[in-house]
Amino acid sequence: MKKSLLWLTITIMCVALISTFALAGCKTEAEEIAEEVEEEAEEVEEETTEEVEEEAEEEAVEMEPVTITMTTWHAEENFVNLWNALISVFNETYPDITVEYDPASFEVYDDVTFSNLELGTAHDIVYLRPFDLGRQVYEAGFLHELTVDEMPNLANFPEANTGPFSSNGVIYGSPDRGYSQGVYYNKDMFNEYDLEVPETWDEFIDVLDALKNNGKIPSSLGGGTGAYLDQIYYNTVGVNLWKGEEGKAKVISGEMRFTDDPFVKAFEAFEELMPYFNEDFVGADAFAAFDYFEFGEAGTIIDGTWNNGRRLENSDFEVGYFTVPPQNAGDEIYNVFINGGALGINKNSENIEAALVFLNWLATIEAYQARMDVGFADIPILAADYDTENDLLAEVVTVVGESTISACVHRDRLGAQDPSAATLMREALLNLLSGDFTAEEAAKHIDDGLAKWYEPYQ
């Protein structure tokens, strides 16, 4: 095509020159000039052809078949099927990059992966835990630093998603998947008692009152599962009070502490919910609590969206989802978003370029749509108008998209040593549930524990 256009241009120039000089009675001189133009054009064409061939050779080198390996701690069948599906879609665009998914079991993943990184036998792509555990892998010098220059789609992620996988402004992991924490509710029960999704905290309490007055468990709680107390209940109830990432940053820096007003109020809000929980809320575990909701005894439950494609698909009533509402109508709504993991590139990999291509593709709407297509329950980190047959997942995506996401307030930096903020918060909440702590005492318990090792609190 380029050659045809070039010769067409030459022909037009020659005709124009000959015509011009012929009219002036200088035909011979015109022909000589035309011959010189033609010779120069041939030289240009030769140079252009050489450049095109060189570019083609470079592209051929870039697209040379390569195999990259990746590992995660998810060897479950649904995750294996997910990654096989994603790789298949990826290969429609990048057929020369073969990706081998080689997971390890959850129990041994961290030790095995760290050991392989030390020995130089690790996979090209490794899965990273958020915050301190993932940061330890980076600070040990095992991970390739990610930049927008090498991976343009990294810019698509909000800071709340990349923050758990960064250190001093350097991003070392590309966010992969996430979950929201909020309130599941029984739509059939709400319709039966003419209840609407609350828009303020007081309206939320009114809804719980109405459910209780009609002989239902307003909200089920599994206080026997410690991880649920600190990660789900305290954070989900309190995130609006400390304004998400803003409050989280202040707690990490030491500008604010858990004894400051927003965090004490979160304990008070948790206390306010206690009369509406199931009678055995102190000893019941998370599974028992979910039974109350799944089998229609409880009208609501504060939980995570990892339940979307698992237990909730078997419910015989319609399930809805909303975030814990703010104190006042019109206030900004914050939603706790759990970053489930990130993909990091082994710094000593021989296939860093191919790994970057794969990670860059995973950070696209196309890739997240592919997850939806296989029915996976994770929430797409990138906001878009996705197609899904899962009505509940579609509702969750909409609700999360209308809120400002934030990570848990106590996970980043505050879990690097013992006693961790997570352990201290569980202890505080258990004592609050049993009546041994007031809200102020619960908050002080966390501050006092962190002051033993965390310098900003000393």
Predicted pLDDT of residue 227: 79
Find where tokens 């719980």 sit.
208
396 exposed, middle or buried (CB, 10 Å; 0-12, 13-18, 19+)? buried
pLDDT at 50 over 90: no
Q: Which of 252, 242, 286, 217 is nearest to 426 (CA)?
A: 286
- How much is the pTM? 0.78
**Cα-Cα-Cα-Cα dihedral sign, residues 102, 106, 108, 111:** positive
Half-sphere exposure of 120 (CA within 13 A, CB side): 2
Range of lowest pLDDT (359-368, 374-383, 436-445):
374-383
More confident residue, 67 or 53: 67
Q: Which of 411, 381, 379 is nearest to 393 (CA)?
A: 379
In sequence order, the 6+-apart residues with CB closer than 8 A to the CB of 9 are 41
In this structure, the strands spanning 66-71 and 125-128 are parallel
Summarised one tens digit per residue, pLDDT across range 204-246 is 999 999 999 999 999 999 988 887 889 889 999 999 999 999 9
Predicted pLDDT of residue 41: 44
Report residue 197's pLDDT band, with 50, 70 and 90 as the boundaries: very high
Predicted pLDDT of residue 9: 39
Report residue 45's pLDDT band, with 50, 70 and 90 as the boundaries: very low
Task: Report the C-alpha gap between 25 and 280 in whole angstroms.
Answer: 110
Q: Can you read off the two tokens belonging to residue 95? A: 């057929």
Predicted pLDDT of residue 393: 85
Q: 408, 256 in Cβ contact below 8 A?
A: no
pLDDT at 368 over 60: yes
pLDDT at 2 over 80: no
Report residue 14's pLDDT band, with 50, 70 and 90 as the boundaries: very low
Q: Return the HEC string of the chain.
A: CHHHHHHHHHHHHHHHHHHHHHHCCCHHHHHHHHHHHHHHHHHHHHHHHHHHHHHHHHHHHHCCCEEEEEECCCCCHHHHHHHHHHHHHHHHHCCCEEEEECCCCCCCHHHHHHHHHHHCCCCCEEEECCCHHHHHHHHCCCECCECCCCCHHHHHCCHHHHHHHEECCEECCEEEEEEEEEEEEEHHHHHHCCCCCCCCHHHHHHHHHHHHHCCCEEEECCCCCHHHHHHHHHHHHHCCCCCCHHHHHHHHHCCCCCCCHHHHHHHHHHHHHHHHCCCCCCCCCHHHHHHHHHCCCEEEEEEEHHHCCCCHHHCCCCEEEECCCCCCCCCCCEEEEEEEEEEEEECCCCCHHHHHHHHHHHCCHHHHHHHHHCCCCCCCCCCCCCCCCCHHHHHHHHHHHCCEEECCCCCCCCCCCCCCHHHHHHHHHHHHHHCCCCHHHHHHHHHHHHCCCCHHHC
